[in-house]
Structure 1
């Protein structure tokens, strides 16, 4: 199917410029970008009035969830699942490549820059594993809940689908991540505090900023990508 679509694009790129397939590629690329960007930004902590609240990736991460909602809403769960797995694979490749870069020899005069690079791209194996597992379970559960709610609401109440699905997804993506990454390294009360602060921060950003973007994206795609892939019509 993909080869056939690629052949059509090569033969007549102008005709296929706004095809549903091309919109899917755009949304998938944005989701991959948002997720990898969030992971890089996570090394930056946000502190207000002497209190460290969460990492900078918490601000951009809800965009990845919003795009997952859009994928499920327009193209269905099976297509969303494929993009989620693609995002997982792209992030794993990104981590492997940047991690290799840490151990490549560097000139002495560039030692400070090399150390800065290492500070950003050296991931503890436990944290990396926790992040990947939590993302996969969180996004898949988010997409599943999105479909479950849509079966009961139809195309109405998009905000209910986006918020409720994210509320479930963030349980895995925040709660499971913190437990897998930090259990045994700090007191239980600190773990609970980390989970609650990050969970409600992500959910708040999703509700205030990402949901309006989801409304705009879904309205645009329903109009311009009106013919969904076969998977969406089955669901």
Structure 2
């Protein structure tokens, strides 16, 4: 008997867009973690004043939107596959950065090496924080959305996309900044940046809710799928659906 492909649904039906959503998820994840993850940006807003936040906050929440879409349309099990694919990609990118930056550099590239180190030379704590926070936050997001879909009988999509993001982003932001910067930054700065990042990321997801609705609606029609995780094994420690 031939194996059913990863993007296959019930009875061997192949999903048309699942693989594309997976690729988009992993791309956003890698870019948001490699570009700007360690940079603290600062803007001055009316009334609020000066706000300090992680630069990656502008794009990282998009990965959570993809997580919402995957769980809502295809179910927790298929989102779990994508999360582990993202984890593997992020782990390899971290390993590759470590190897490349520590290779002997040609003399004429000495100045450029410093630039590479500044951009890609994340400390082991930042790398570890990114991996742990991503996994825990993503699985929390997917689990909460899947359960809320059952509780609401598939109604009120906005409640579970926002509710799951509130839970997942809280886990992600708390873990990342504590693991990566506790003892390096002043404690008040760790808390300030983590809180600002959490508020900005969840606010960004709320603003993007109409887009999430459109993508979910399109995929449900195109795939003829609206998965309910009634008999799902919610353990995160497996790849099979």
State TM-score, norm by structure 1: 0.85
Structure 1 counterpart of 2:41: 46
Structure 1 counterpart of 2:237: none
Q: Is the contact made by 1:44 and 1:56 (CA closer than 8 Å) also made in structure 2?
A: yes
Q: Distance in 1 between matches of 2:130 and 2:76?
A: 22
Between 170-179 and 29-38, the greater mean CA deviation after superposition: 170-179
Q: Secondary structure at the match of 1:154?
A: coil
Q: For each residue in 1:32-65, what CA deviation from the matched residue of structure 2 results, as whole angstroms up to 9, or x when unmatched?
A: 0011110122244422249462232101011000
Q: Distance in 2 between matches of 1:104 and 1:3?
A: 41
Structure 2 counterpart of 1:11: none
Q: Distance in 2 between matches of 1:202 and 1:30?
A: 19
Aligned-residue CA RMSD (Å): 2.5
Structure 1 counterpart of 2:224: 226
Runs (5+) with no aligned partner, structure 2: 233-241
Q: Secondary structure at the match of 2:129?
A: helix
Q: Distance in 2 between matches of 1:138 and 1:58?
A: 14
Structure 2 counterpart of 1:13: none
Q: Distance in 1 between matches of 2:141 and 2:2?
A: 26
Q: Distance in 2 between matches of 1:120 and 1:86?
A: 24
Structure 2 counterpart of 1:165: 164
Q: For each residue in 1:76-135, what CA deviation from the matched residue of structure 2 results, as whole angstroms up to 9, or x when unmatched?
A: 111111110110011101111122111223332232322211211112111211111111
Runs (5+) with no aligned partner, structure 1: 9-18
Structure 2 counterpart of 1:37: 31
Structure 2 counterpart of 1:27: 21
Q: Distance in 2 between matches of 1:179 and 1:122?
A: 19
Q: Distance in 1 between matches of 2:2 and 2:28?
A: 24
Between 96-105 and 23-32, the greater mean CA deviation after superposition: 96-105
Q: Distance in 2 between matches of 1:226 and 1:214?
A: 17
Residue 93 in structure 1 maps to residue 92 in structure 2: yes
Between 174-183 and 138-147, the greater mean CA deviation after superposition: 174-183
Structure 2 counterpart of 1:16: none
Q: Distance in 1 between matches of 2:176 and 2:97?
A: 22
Q: Is the contact made by 2:165 and 2:202 (CA closer than 8 Å) also made in structure 1?
A: yes
Q: Distance in 2 between matches of 1:190 and 1:179?
A: 11
Q: Distance in 2 between matches of 1:171 and 1:179?
A: 12
Q: Is the contact made by 2:73 and 2:225 (CA closer than 8 Å) also made in structure 1?
A: no
Q: State the number of aligned residues.
A: 222
Q: Distance in 1 between matches of 2:16 and 2:31?
A: 22
Superposed, 1:207-226 pairs within 5 Å as: 207-209=206-208, 211-226=209-224
Structure 1 counterpart of 2:60: 61
